[in-house]
């Protein structure tokens, strides 16, 4: 008996060692990023020769962060990203959930056709429509405070409106709504509630999990967007954080500043993720239950 | 199921209408435009009217021809060789520039060549860079799809155990997924750096200096591989989670039955786990393939397609033309080619997996 319990312990220990070694591969580049952001360039480069690369030792300061703020309008980029991401997530949750509600609970002409078209867009990678979408965006009219203008380039709306509705989000809501007990909705209908009341008072309060999933996926996609804002925003005023990175590309290798900027735009997301990691992972997993 | 509910066209269109309009304007319309524009000479801003040009954009991108040449000989009929002993062939320029005998070769350049005994066959292409991009993208997909899918499955099996603290490991493996690929690319530029890069330091430390330093991204033979490795590192956690959700749908009673029958770990994987993961496998494969074909940000941040076009990819080319050179029609044609590839591969994957089940 003692023998088998010893081998059991040994196997357990081996497993933990393997798990830890793999964890090192995933964590150390990120640790290196944050630690390096605190070091002056010369020390940063010297430290890469040893394990000091992963330790906040030596001449530690926030100087790189101040320098990054001086180099580029970092606060503006962060604010733009927060506006674009926040507004898109909110609008997406509303329009995708109302649409899914209509697809699942309401019987109307054209329903099946529209739903299948929306789901078919799942196989269209964004990259294949980016170029014509650029052309369309450059010609779309807009009615604003200064009358009618043509062209959506260099604006918030060009970064928000095309991304409000997407096939995946609609799909997630449709799947979730299908599993809700239909008796609830029927009962509310019998009592004379309007469709919108049913949506707001009955369906939405039950939809916490799918709202979280959809919000997390949209948040990640929007905050990390790169290709689209790169093409449609030339003016500094509307640039999000990922495109703002370009300010740090050409420099004469000020790695400390680059690492500071990378940490600044990444650590809040990582913290948010670690805080809500169960929800994040559940949201990715739920995209996999397509079957 | 919805038939149980009252019919209401007005409500249906009111609630789903905005979504339908948005998808129509920003996905369907550009998709149709991509196809239409690829047959024109549309530019982003142009004084000339747009014209229909048929398949010209596609011919320009995909035009390939071969030309077999005999070695140059001197008066005595001997094969001419240069100082290094390489056999000399007539200059290709003589065939691709204003040669009335070879009108189909005009404007073409050498892509690669093959030797058949004395003669050499040149494969010429109208757009060598695009064809290199096409090949690179296929290499990228052919490596990333099996390796990333396989590693993700391995991690999922490792994580799918009842152990103290296992959730922490799962959270850690997933971490790079929430980090933007742009951030990851810039970070790894430093890791791959030829002088003080972490990778070089690590390799030289473990080999006591035996492994020479490599400029990973600056060397045509290592650049694409380096980008592939980094891409797998960033995204493997995503697919691990999808595998994991597949693993958790397999009933534990099957494993108990297997254990009673005396199944080895490999047998229980082969006959219980793997069949239970069939649907997940199809999904993982299709998702990775679609994502891998769209590779762009890594290239844009790390190499801009270089060195020597060794990391050019389809989407990078589409963006360089459609946006960089404002050649909307050329970029659209590339996008259509990409879509046709992605569509046929996902149909093929579906067909293959259907035949077997």
Q: Is A87 on the interface with B (CB under 8 A)?
A: no
Q: Give the nearest partner residue to B322 out of A111, A131, A189, using CB atoms.
A: A131
Cβ within 8 Å, pair A132-B197: no
Please confirm whether the linkage preceding B352 is cis (ω < 30° from 0): no
Report pLDDT for B106.
79
Greater confidence (A193 vs B131) lies with B131
B216 and B222 in contact (C-beta within 8 Å)?
A: yes
Domain total for chain A? 1
A-contacting residues of B 327-356, CB under 8 Å? 328, 331-332, 335-336, 338-339, 342-343, 346
Task: Note whether residue A69 is domain-resident.
Answer: no
Q: Which domains does chain B have, with CATH numbers?
A: 68-125 (no CATH), 129-356 (1.10.3720.10)
pLDDT over 90 for what percent of chain A?
Answer: 49
Query: Which of A92, A90, A68 has the alpha carbon at shortest distance from A241?
Result: A68
Measure the CA–CA gap between A181 and A287, rounded to whole angstroms. Answer: 22
- Using an 8 Å Cβ cutoff, are A123 and B44 in contact? no
* pLDDT band, very low/low/confident/very high, at A150 (cuts 50, 70, 90): confident
Cα–Cα distance for residue pair B280/A285, rounded to 1 Å: 11
Answer yes or no: do A107 and B5 touch at CB < 8 A: yes
Distance from CA of B87 to the nearest CA of A (A): 44
Of A22, A102, A288, the CB nearest to B173: A22
What would the two tokens of residue A273 be? 């993720």
| Structure tokens, B17 | 């209408």
What does the pLDDT look like over A80-108, one tens digit per residue? Answer: 999 999 999 999 999 999 999 999 988 88
The CA-atom distances, in angstroms, between A41 and each of A12, A56, A246 are 42, 14, 19
> Which pLDDT belongs to residue A252?
62
Does residue A60 fall inside a structural domain? Answer: no
* Contacts within 8 Å (CB) and 24+ apart, A74-78: A74/A244, A74/A261, A74/A264, A76/A236, A76/A237, A76/A239, A77/A239, A77/A240, A77/A241, A77/A243, A77/A244, A78/A241, A78/A264, A78/A265
Pick among A36, A109, A132 to test the B interface (most B CBs inside 10 A): A132
Provide the whole-model pTM. Answer: 0.89
CB atoms B23 and A165 under 8 Å:
yes
Domain that holds residue A141: 75-240+279-287
Query: Domain containing A140 — which CATH number?
Result: 1.10.3720.10
In-domain check, residue A62: no
CA distance B336 to A114: 23
Instruction: Tell me which residue has tokens 């391995």.
Output: B154
Closest chain A residue to B20, measured at CA: A114
Q: What percent of chain A has pLDDT over 70?
A: 96
Q: What is the interface size between A and B, counted as CB pairs within 8 Å?
A: 299
Question: For residue A144, what pLDDT is reported?
Answer: 79
Given CB atoms, is A1 within the 8 Å cutoff of chain B? Answer: no
A2-58 pLDDT tens trace: 556 788 888 888 989 999 999 999 999 999 999 999 999 888 888 888 888 888 888
Give the minimum alpha-carbon distance from B113 to chain A in angstroms, rounded to a whole number: 32
Q: What CA–CA distance (Å, rounded) separates A130 from B317?
A: 13
- Among A114, A227, A258, whose Cβ lies nearest the Cβ of B296? A227
Interface residue A193 vs chain B (CB under 8 A): no
* Chain B residue with minimum CA distance to A128: B335
List phi, psi (to 5°) of B99.
Answer: -100, 110
Give contacts of B 121-180 with A, CB under 8 A: 155, 158, 161, 163, 166-167, 169-180
Q: Where are the beta strands (DSSP E) in chain A?
A: 141-144, 147-150
For residue A179, tell me if it sits in a domain: yes
Q: Three-class SS of residue B87? A: strand
Q: What pLDDT band is residue A291 in, cutting at 50, 70 and 90?
A: very low
Best residue in B15, B32, B213 for a mutation probing chain A (most A CBs within 10 Å): B15
Q: For B198, which of A26, A32, A178 is closest by C-beta distance?
A: A32
pLDDT in tens, chain B (357 residues): 444 566 788 888 889 999 999 999 999 999 999 999 999 888 877 777 888 888 888 988 888 888 888 888 877 777 877 777 788 888 887 788 777 878 778 778 888 888 877 788 888 888 899 999 999 999 999 999 999 999 999 999 999 888 888 889 999 999 999 999 999 999 999 899 888 788 888 888 888 878 888 899 999 999 999 999 999 999 999 999 999 988 888 888 888 888 888 888 888 888 889 888 888 888 888 889 988 999 999 999 999 987 889 999 999 999 999 888 888 899 999 999 999 999 998 888 878 877 554
Chain B within 8 Å of A192 (Cβ-Cβ)? no
Nearest to B23 among A16, A118, A280 (CB): A118
Nearest CA in chain A to B8: A108
Residue A197 counted as domain residue: yes
Residue from the list B11, B19, B178 with its beta carbon closest to the beta carbon of A220:
B178
Quote the ipTM score: 0.89
């Amino acid at each position: 008996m003692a023998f088998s319990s010893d081998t059991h312990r040994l196997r357990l220990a081996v497993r933990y060692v393997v798990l830890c070694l793999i964890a090192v591969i995933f964590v150390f580049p990120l640790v290196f990023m944050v630690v390096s952001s605190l070091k002056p360039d010369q020390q940063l480069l010297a430290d890469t020769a040893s394990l000091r690369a992963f330790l906040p030792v030596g001449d530690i300061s926030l100087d790189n962060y101040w320098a990054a703020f001086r180099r580029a309008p970092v606060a503006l980029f962060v604010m733009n990203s927060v506006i674009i991401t926040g507004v898109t997530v909110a609008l997406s949750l509303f329009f995708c959930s109302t649409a899914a509600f209509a697809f699942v609970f309401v019987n109307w002409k054209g329903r099946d056709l529209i739903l299948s078209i929306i789901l078919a867009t799942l196989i269209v990678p964004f990259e294949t429509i980016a170029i014509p979408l650029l052309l369309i965006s450059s010609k779309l009219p807009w009615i604003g405070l200064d009358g009618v203008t043509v062209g959506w380039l260099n604006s918030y709306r060009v970064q928000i409106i095309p991304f409000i509705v997407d096939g995946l989000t609609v799909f997630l809501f449709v799947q979730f709504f299908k599993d809700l007990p239909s008796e609830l909705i029927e009962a509310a209908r019998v009592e004379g509630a309007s469709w919108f009341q049913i949506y707001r008072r009955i369906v939405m309060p039950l939809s916490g999990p799918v709202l979280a999933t959809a919000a997390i996926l949209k948040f990640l996609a929007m905050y990390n967007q790169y290709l689209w804002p790169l093409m449609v925003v030339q003016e500094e005023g509307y640039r999000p954080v990922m495109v703002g990175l370009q300010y740090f590309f050409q420099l004469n290798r000020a790695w400390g500043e680059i690492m500071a900027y990378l940490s600044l735009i990444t650590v809040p997301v990582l913290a948010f993720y670690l805080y809500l990691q169960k929800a994040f992972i559940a949201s990715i997993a739920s995209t996999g239950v397509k079957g | 199921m919805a038939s149980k509910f009252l019919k209401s066209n007005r409500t249906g269109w009111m609630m789903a209408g905005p979504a339908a309009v948005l998808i129509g304007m920003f996905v369907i319309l550009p998709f149709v435009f991509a196809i239409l524009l690829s047959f024109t000479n549309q530019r982003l801003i142009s004084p000339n009217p747009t014209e229909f040009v048929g398949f010209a954009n596609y011919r320009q991108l995909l035009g390939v021809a071969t030309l077999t040449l005999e070695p140059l000989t001197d008066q005595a009929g001997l094969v001419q060789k240069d100082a290094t002993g390489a056999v000399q062939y007539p200059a290709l320029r003589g065939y691709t520039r204003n040669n009335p005998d070879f009108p189909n070769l005009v404007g073409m350049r050498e892509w690669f060549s093959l030797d058949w005994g004395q003669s050499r066959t040149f494969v010429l292409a109208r757009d060598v860079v695009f064809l290199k991009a096409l090949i690179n993208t296929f290499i990228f997909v052919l490596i990333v799809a099996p390796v990333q899918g396989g590693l993700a499955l391995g991690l999922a099996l490792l994580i799918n155990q009842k152990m103290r603290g296992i959730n922490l490991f799962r959270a850690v493996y997933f971490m790079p997924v929430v980090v933007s690929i742009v951030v990851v690319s810039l970070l790894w530029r430093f890791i791959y750096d030829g002088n003080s890069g972490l990778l070089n330091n690590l390799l030289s430390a473990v080999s006591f200096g035996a492994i020479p330093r490599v400029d990973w991204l600056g060397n045509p033979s290592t650049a694409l591989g380096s980008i592939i490795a980094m891409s797998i590192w960033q995204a493997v956690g995503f697919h691990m989670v999808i595998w994991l959700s597949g693993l958790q749908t397999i009933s534990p009673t099957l494993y108990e039955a297997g254990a009673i029958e005396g199944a080895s770990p490999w047998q229980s994987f082969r006959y219980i786990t793997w069949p239970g993961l069939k649907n997940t496998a199809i999904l993982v494969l299709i998702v990775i393939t679609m994502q891998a074909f769209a590779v762009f940000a890594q290239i844009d941040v790390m190499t801009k397609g270089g060195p020597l076009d060794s990391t050019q990819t389809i989407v990078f080319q589409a963006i360089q033309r459609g946006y960089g050179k404002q050649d909307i029609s050329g970029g659209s044609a590339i996008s259509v080619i990409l879509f046709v590839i992605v569509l046929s591969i996902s149909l093929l994957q579906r067909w293959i997996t259907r035949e077997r089940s």
